Amino acid sequence: MTDVYTPADLPAKIQHYIDGEFVDSIDGDTFDVLNPVTNDAYVQAAAGKKADIERAVAAARRAFTEGPWPRMLPRERSRVLHRIADIVESRDARLAELESFDSGLPITQALGQARRAAENFRFFADLIVAQADDAFKVPGKQMNYVNRKPIGVAGLITPWNTPFMLESWKLGPALATGNTVVLKPAEFTPLSASLWAGIFEEAGLPKGVFNLVNGLGEDAGDALVKHPDVPLISFTGESRTGQIIFGNAAPHLKGLSMELGGKSPAVVFADADLDTAIDACIFGVFSLNGERCTAGSRILVQREVYDEFVERFAAQTKRVKVGHPHDPTTEVGALVHPEHYDKVMSYVELGKTEGRLVAGGGRPDGFPTGNYVAPTAFADVAPDARIFQEEIFGPVVAITPFDTEDEALALANNTRYGLAAYIWTNDLKRAHNFAQAVEAGMVWLNSNNVRDLRTPFGGVKASGLGHEGGYRSIDFYTDQQSVHITLGEPHNPAFGKQDLDDPDPR
């Protein structure tokens, strides 16, 4: 294959990082990491097992109980987090280069994710200094205040789509609040995660506060979830894995935050600005190679504009540029792994029996090898079709017509998922009423997926459990202790107290 790009100075191997040191697996086991453009193994990573997780948790627990990090003032921790953000920003080009190479993401989109990772740390560095906890007073009688405390070792399990940014989304608040962590990155994309150790060391994070164990979900991830000294698990991934984690965490009553799958609707009413809606819908499903949980992968279009929308959407989809991930003009790169490529292609073939193919439908021209899928659109998809109901997690979209607002709402809510929704209409009353009725944790009105880090991020139904973002992340990573103080006479009912004035209480 021509034009295969390999970054300079790739590591010879990828190791775990435990208690301030890079180490191999205790049993010496490794796994191959593949280049998604060629599907050749370019490096081997240490394959963590239960013993490696136990070693990492012990280090994190020691750093929590004996080290300075949980006992530092918020301002002191904030300074470290700001240094982390500064380092990430200064290395954004290198981070993007490695992320693009490892995951297949277009380089320009990987660069945006690297910069957002820096912003995640900066946001939580500021938030913990500005944070004000609740206090409640009853004049002359009582005062109550809330004392937040870090919980302990946080287990962080991250996915292979935009891995570095999503790791920062968990690492930032977990560390800001004084916890120590064990990170288990996705086995498909361990390269960029290996850079955190050097960044944290340079920023001055104490030894043992950050630990990283690579490996398969069923080995390292499972051991982390089941470990009794890990009271918190934050997981981003697909819904079935979330169910398994929920069951395995239950005996220990762990705190869980799980952002899971999505099959998000983009609802386009006849009065919408079609130019803007089409641009947003195309970006919303094909950016990040379609490998995004909030992708608007079901487009519902009112029948008055349906034919025009489909025709224009299909024509523009065919012009989306598929290319090598390192090419700055590329809009859709290579899918992350051959296993995932096979899954997405199986849905493309299924879609040909469930809808009318209007764009894509296979490999793009000029890419005979690698994990490349042409941006694909199916029209006239029935609500019970599998490509309407199931998360594909690739550059594939189903388009379905509707007549009335009630029908649109029923179609939008007709899946097991409920992560995001996108509503396109110029009717203000309809926009707000529809947004409040749709079963989704996040709704964008006449807007693409633009995130404000202060707002809650999470879904309903099979799309997740709990929310993170802003103070919701602070809530998850801290215990909130209520302290009560009596200011007047104590209110103590005197049970069983003998009447001292009565010499014979009989």
Coil, strand or helix: which one is 473?
helix
Coil, strand or helix: which one is 306?
helix
Neighbours of 58 (CB within 10 A): 17
Strand pairing category for 376-379 and 478-486:
unpaired
What are the residue numbers of the active site? Answer: 259, 293
Measured distance CA(25)–CA(50) in Å, rounded = 10
Beta bridge partners of 120: none
Angle at 482 between CA 481 and CA 486, to 5 degrees: 145
3-state SS, 106-138, equals CHHHHHHHHHHHHHHHHHHHHHHHHCCCCEEEE
Asked if residues 462 and 261 have their Cβ atoms less than 8 Å apart, the reply is yes
Coil, strand or helix: which one is 248?
helix
DSSP string, 216-232: -IIIIIHHHHH-TT--E
Measured distance CA(337)–CA(334) in Å, rounded = 8
Q: How far is CA 376 from CA 8, 71, 266, 364, in A?
A: 34, 53, 16, 10
Measured distance CA(476)–CA(152) in Å, rounded = 12
Scored b (16 or more CB within 10 A) or e, 263-272 reads: bbbbbbbbeb
Asked if residues 339 and 308 have their Cβ atoms less than 8 Å apart, the reply is no
**Helix-then-strand count for the chain, H and E:** 15, 20
Coil, strand or helix: which one is 312?
helix
Beta bridge partners of 155: 182, 233
Collect contacts of 19-27 with beta carbons under 8 A, ≥24 apart.
19/55, 19/56, 19/59, 19/62, 19/63, 19/207, 19/208, 19/211, 20/201, 20/207, 20/208, 22/197, 25/49, 25/52, 25/215, 26/51, 26/52, 26/55, 27/51
3-state SS, 325-381, equals CCCCCCCECCCCCHHHHHHHHHHHHHHHHHCEEEECCCCCCCCCCCCCCCCEEEECC
